[in-house]
Structure 1
Amino acid sequence: MATVTLKGGEIHTSGNLPATGTKAPEFKLTANDLSTKTLADFAGSKLVLNIFPSVDTGTCATSVREFNREASALENTKVLCISRDLPFAHARFCGAEGLDNVVSLSDFKTGDFGKAYGVDFIDGPLDGLHSRSVVVLDEKGNVLYTEQVAETVDEPNYKAALEALLNE
Structure 2
Amino acid sequence: SLRMPLIMRWPGHIKPGVRSSAIVQELDYAPTFCEVAGVNTKENMNTFQGRSLTPLFQTGEHQNFKNRPIYYAFYENPGEHNAPRHDGLRTDRYTLSYIWTSDEWMLFDNQKDPAQMHNVINKPEYAETVKELKALYGKLRKDYQVPEGFPGATGKLAVKPQWDCAPSRD
TM-score of the two chains, using structure 1 as the length reference = 0.20
**Rg larger for:** 2
TM-score of the two chains, using structure 2 as the length reference = 0.20
Higher percent of residues as strand: 1
